[in-house]
């Protein structure tokens, strides 16, 4: 049983938030709330929201705060969040962090810890542009560091692996710029309220996971 179970995973794209979420979820019964996954599901379903989000996502820009905050607020009312949750990729702006506080208060939930995933920029670019994602279970692989056993096939569920359209070099660079401008101010925000813990996410997966467990049980 983790000491901290209502979690925010904060960090630039490619830092391993999704990868370590996946590992943690094998050991702990937490709800996984990835705003990127929710938006990609909207795109796949061809909804109006999906259509407007796709244009922004393909340029590496953020979807408007209120839209993502409403999605998360609705998700936090669900029963499976009672046992804890990982907010993966949300909040991404200070305005979203404030909307999260409101939504959490309404459902009687509090954030226990914000984990900052820290990794050097060149590694992030390498990881993003070589990333492969499973269409079915969303697991991540990497053409350089974490190849699947069979080309193009997910080791976990047999689903098809694909390259996300926003993992091209140009969009990856834009996403990192957007992170610096709009998301990095959250580091100060969560340091001020004492919730922030940082892990070195340039480490290999097993060592990164050990570092994550250490901060969640501190
Ligand atoms: P991710 O899967 O977390 O890398 O997110 C992919 C893309 O979805 C981002 O580049 C944004 O365009 C959009 N997105 C995901 N989460 C958010 C968020 N919290 N706020 C705004 N846009 C988001």
Q: Is 17 a catalytic residue?
A: yes
Strands, E assignment, the chain: 6-10, 31-34, 85-88, 113-118, 131-134, 140-142, 161-162, 196-200
56 lines ligand 1 (CB under 6 A): yes
The active-site residue, picked from 75, 92, 98, 147, is: 92
- pLDDT single digits (tens) 43-53: 999 999 999 99
| Confidence band for 1, pLDDT divided at 50, 70 and 90 | confident
218 burial (CB, 10 Å; 0-12 / 13-18 / 19+) is exposed
Cα–Cα distance measured from residue 140 to residue 13, given in angstroms and rounded to the nearest whole number: 13
Among the listed residues 130, 132, 133, 103, the one whose alpha carbon sits nearest the alpha carbon of residue 41? 133
CA-91 nearest atom, ligand 1: 19
Pick the CATH number of 6-116+196-216 from 3.40.50.300, 3.40.50.410, 3.30.70.920, 1.20.1260.10: 3.40.50.300
Supply the mean pLDDT for the chain.
96
Catalytic residue among 40, 113, 127, 131: 131
The fraction of the chain above a pLDDT of 90, given in percent, is 98
> For residue 60, which atom of ligand 1 is closest to its CA?
10
The domain limits of the chain are 6-116+196-216
Confidence band (pLDDT; 50, 70, 90) for 58?
A: very high
Query: What span, in angstroms and rounded, lies between the C-alpha atoms of 12 and 24?
Result: 19
Q: What is the pTM of this model?
A: 0.94
Alpha-carbon distance 116 to 129, whole Å?
22
Output phi, psi for 160, to 5 deg.
-80, 135
Could you read off the pLDDT of 74-116 as tens digits, one per residue?
Answer: 999 999 999 999 999 999 999 999 999 999 999 999 999 999 9
- Active site includes 75? no
Q: Sort 88 into a burial class: Cβ within 10 Å, 0-12 / 13-18 / 19+.
A: buried
C-alpha–C-alpha distance, residues 72 and 51, integer Å: 19
Average pLDDT, integer, range 170-189: 97
């Amino acid at each position: 049983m983790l000491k901290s179970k209502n979690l925010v995973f904060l960090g630039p794209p490619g830092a391993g938030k999704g990868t370590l979420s996946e590992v943690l979820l094998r050991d702990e019964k937490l709800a996984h709330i990835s705003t990127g996954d929710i938006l990609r599901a909207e795109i796949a379903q061809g909804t109006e929201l999906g259509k407007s989000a796709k244009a922004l996502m393909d340029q590496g820009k953020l979807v408007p705060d209120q839209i993502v905050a409403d999605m998360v607020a609705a998700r936090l009312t669900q029963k499976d969040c009672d046992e804890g949750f990982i907010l993966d990729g949300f909040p991404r702006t200070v305005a979203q962090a404030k909307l999260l506080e409101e939504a959490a208060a309404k459902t009687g939930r509090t954030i226990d810890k914000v984990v900052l995933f820290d990794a050097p920029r060149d590694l992030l670019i390498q990881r993003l542009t070589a990333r492969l994602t499973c269409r079915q279970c969303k697991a991540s692989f990497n053409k350089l560091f974490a190849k699947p056993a069979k080309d193009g096939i997910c080791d976990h569920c047999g689903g098809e692996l694909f390259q996300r359209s926003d993992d091209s070099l140009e969009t990856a660079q834009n996403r990192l710029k957007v992170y610096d401008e709009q998301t990095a101010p959250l580091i100060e925000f969560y340091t001020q309220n004492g919730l922030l813990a940082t892990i070195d996410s340039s480490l290999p997966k097993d060592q990164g996971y050990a570092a994550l467990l250490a901060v969640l049980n501190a």
